[in-house]
Amino acid sequence: MPLTPPSAHSSGDSRRPGRRHDREIFRLALPAFGALVAEPLFLLADHAIVGRLGTTALGALGVAGAALTTLVNLCVFLAYGTTAAVARQAGAGDLRRGVKLGVDGLWLAAAIGLVVIAAAWPLAPMIVDLFGASPALAADAVTYLRISLFGTPAMLIVLAGTGVLRGLADTVTPLVVSIGSFTLNALLNVWFVLGLGFGIAGSAWGTVLAQILGAVVYVAVVVRGARGHGASLRPDLAGIRAAGTAGVALVIRTASMRVALIAATVAATRMGDAQIAAHAIASQVWTLLAFVLDAIAIAGQAITGRSLGAGDVPATRAATRRMVFWGIWCGVACGVAVLAARPFVPGLFDADPAVAAALLAALWPVALLQPIAGVVFVLDGVLIGAGDRRYLAWASVWTTLAYLPAVLLVVVAGGGLAALWAVLGVWMLARLVTLGSRAYGTAWLVTGA
């Protein structure tokens, strides 16, 4: 398929600007929603499958998953930075340059993936020990983490390829690839874990094979698009270096956010095996909801980058207001859905009574924080699309520093899992203040290519 974005004003209706922006937002957000929600849904399926192996295996998956997600999410700039850069070039009318930036992103992703394998493999036991897991749980976590590292280059290539397509306002192809690869992942995990009896290692291998297939598809799509627009496929060291340099601020942003989430996982681990097992499930529910809300943020990245690249500040402002509006209402809907599903969630994972009790308590704050999360994720996406990376980096550092003492207080006071999730509200409110005040100003509205 050709990598050609639609016109920035193809759906224009000057008489009803709100509806015009709504159509553009949902044209991008709905497929992005499908692609984003596919991952946590199938991760929940992984947890359900591994949960049949017992509480220790489920807790090990939670610990290893948190460590692996941290390693990969530090490189989320490959998607976010590429989306913003490609969208801005598309808005300025230079598709060849935009696609070339995407090709450089793929090369950078492959290189970083290989470095992660070499660095993290020998450190796997040390990484797991940082979570304070019990010996039996730690052994399973190291096994899962080490096998999963082989899928890191593929995961990062998928991130970069997704960024290219989103930047060109194509969120349908990532949806198709996500559904295919995650369906394969679920089927392989059932076969390897339950059919062949490979245990937690089987879950890891199934995920790795599915990730490789997804990466192959993205490479094929981007290569075809590069040839169609006359962009070189050769690695451009200057372009790769520029992409890496531009991503430093986003790495700081993501690292700060991961520190906050890891602190919660460490605190839950020290509460006991039942609490970390419940926390692992609650975290997957939170991730599922975050991806639902992040669909609008993905639209925000593409729309903001393109409109600022075209020099249209009023359109950027108007689209931001509409996305915040929809972020609030989607957050309310997510919160209501959690409350409705809450009594049935423990049964989906065959949780024992101790795990079920902790999980039911934690789902209350998970639900109540969703409207705030809806606004936070939208504004984060808008500022990423604007390329306001330096501010996002510093804001993330300060909000995490505001959150960590609250986590420490829960641990020192002997609070339970519900209290741990409740103090997540401190972090979300701090992010709301920093992102909202920035979006209200004008410093981020930089136009042109």
Q: pLDDT tens for residues 65-97?
A: 778 777 777 777 787 778 877 877 777 777 787
Instruction: Determine contact, residues 37/45, Cβ cutoff 8 Å.
Output: no
User: For residue 358, what are its two tokens?
Assistant: 């902790």
Provide the pLDDT for residue 250: 82
Provide the pLDDT for residue 81: 77
Q: For the chain, how far is it from start to end, CA to CA, in angstroms?
A: 25
**What share of residues in the chain are helix, strand, coil (percent, to 5)?**
85, 0, 15
For the chain, counts of helices (H) and of strands (E): 18, 0
- Band the pLDDT of 37: cuts 50, 70, 90: low
Q: Does residue 150 register a pLDDT over 80?
A: yes
Provide the pLDDT for residue 8: 45
Residue range 185-199: mean pLDDT, rounded: 84
Provide the pLDDT for residue 6: 56
Provide the pLDDT for residue 46: 73
- Band the pLDDT of 42: cuts 50, 70, 90: low
Residue 268, phi then psi, degrees to nearest 5: -65, -40
- Band the pLDDT of 5: cuts 50, 70, 90: low
Q: Does residue 199 register a pLDDT over 90?
A: no
Q: Does residue 3 register a pLDDT over 80?
A: no
In angstroms, the CA 130 to CA 108 distance is 29
- Band the pLDDT of 4: cuts 50, 70, 90: low
Instruction: Determine contact, residues 358/59, Cβ cutoff 8 Å.
Output: no
Q: Does residue 174 register a pLDDT over 70?
A: yes
Q: For residue 446, what is the DSSP state?
A: -
- Band the pLDDT of 371: cuts 50, 70, 90: very high
- The 10 Å Cβ neighbour count of residue 390 is 13
Could you please report the per-residue DSSP string of 181-226?
HHHHHHHHHIIIIIIS--THHHHHHHHHHHHHHHHHHHHHHHHHHH
Residue range 24-50: mean pLDDT, rounded: 73
Q: Does residue 411 register a pLDDT over 70?
A: yes
250-282 residue pLDDT tens: 888 888 888 888 888 888 888 887 888 888 888
- Band the pLDDT of 43: cuts 50, 70, 90: low
pTM score, two decimals? 0.73
More confident: 41 or 116: 116
Q: Would you say the C-alpha torsion 380, 91, 83, 7 has a positive or negative sign?
A: positive
Provide the pLDDT for residue 114: 92
Provide the pLDDT for residue 340: 92
Residues with Cβ < 8 Å from 107, sequence gap 6 or more?
Answer: 235, 240
Q: Does residue 104 register a pLDDT over 90?
A: no
Q: Please choose, from the candidates 378, 371, 380, the residue with its C-alpha nearest in 3D space to the C-alpha of residue 323.
A: 378
Provide the pLDDT for residue 10: 44
Q: What value does the mean pLDDT of the chain take?
A: 82
Q: How many CA atoms lie within 13 A of 158 on its CB side?
A: 25
| Whole-Å CA distances, 82 to 1, 6, 76 | 19, 18, 10
Does an H or E element contain 227, and which?
Answer: helix 200-228
